[in-house]
Amino acid sequence: MKRRDHIETEQDPIESRRRAQGLVGPESTAWKINAEVATLLGWGPAMVMQFAHPLVAAGVADHSAFAKSTRARPGRLHGTVRAMLALTFGTHDEALHAAAGINTIHDYVQGQLPAPAGIFPAGTPYSAHDPELLRWVQATLLECLPRAYELFVGPLTAAEKDHYCQEASGAGALLGIPEGFLPASTTELHAYMAAMMASGQIAVTLTARSLARELMNPFYPRLLWPLYWPLKLATIGLLLPDIRDAYGYPWSRREEQALRIFGWLVRHTLPSLPSLIRRWPAARRAAT
């Protein structure tokens, strides 16, 4: 008995290091991209792209606090970001806890499409546990967050973008996405996006338009509009062109230039900011 206890004691430090590291480590591209608060500017376009899938839009409209209460939206966004940070920077146990929380919420998100949309007839069932819908949601983040990082923080190499896709598989498995189901490179990601657009599964419904409008036009005092306008510009500008066109958002050379100027200003301001402001607390804690 004493010998077995001794062996377990010798193995504990290895297990402790593994559990303390979490799903990805400090050398990962996920740590690099997700640590920056500015990367949050990629969440808006990702959500608008998610709404463009009729089954995702129906699930959000029917079950999410985002659609039901303006006051609840900041808390909903905070919870989503907090879960993402736990999956990236948390210990193994913290990542498991975050994934379990997401899965519990998904248990209640199921229903039927109320009206035909795209290739889906009325009555098509949806579930937040559907791997196909989870893949679409994850793919929008893989598409938008690196683009937001490059625009507002700094360049990424092709290898880093591929690693970012590969690193998502760990969190995907905890959420019920089968192994090998997510795009493992930017080439696979772009091929998947193109296939989805050609499949008829992506169709901007009235529900999607309503959700996107609520996301981009929240109730704020008019005095804050000059501060909020650049965020709306980034949300529309970072959409895939086909999806932007499907929503009917105008986008001219003028808007494109304004977005580039906004990105340049943020990019050149960030280096002068302290880590306390530019990086998430979870990222700072994990780096110590």
What pLDDT does 81 receive?
85
Question: Which regions in the chain score pLDDT beneath 70?
Answer: 1-21, 65-76, 218-225
Strand partners, 127: 110
What pLDDT does 192 receive?
98
Which pTM value belongs to this model?
Answer: 0.89
Listed by start position, the domains of the chain span 30-281
CA distance to 111, 124, 131, 176, 223, per residue, from 127 (Å): 7, 10, 9, 12, 40
What pLDDT does 39 receive?
96
Question: What single DSSP character describes residue 112?
Answer: E
What pLDDT does 216 receive?
85
Strand partners, 110: 127
What pLDDT does 34 receive?
96
CA distance to 61, 207, 230, 232, 266, per residue, from 236 (Å): 21, 18, 10, 6, 17
What pLDDT does 76 receive?
67
Cα 279 to Cα 37: distance, rounded to the nearest angstrom: 5
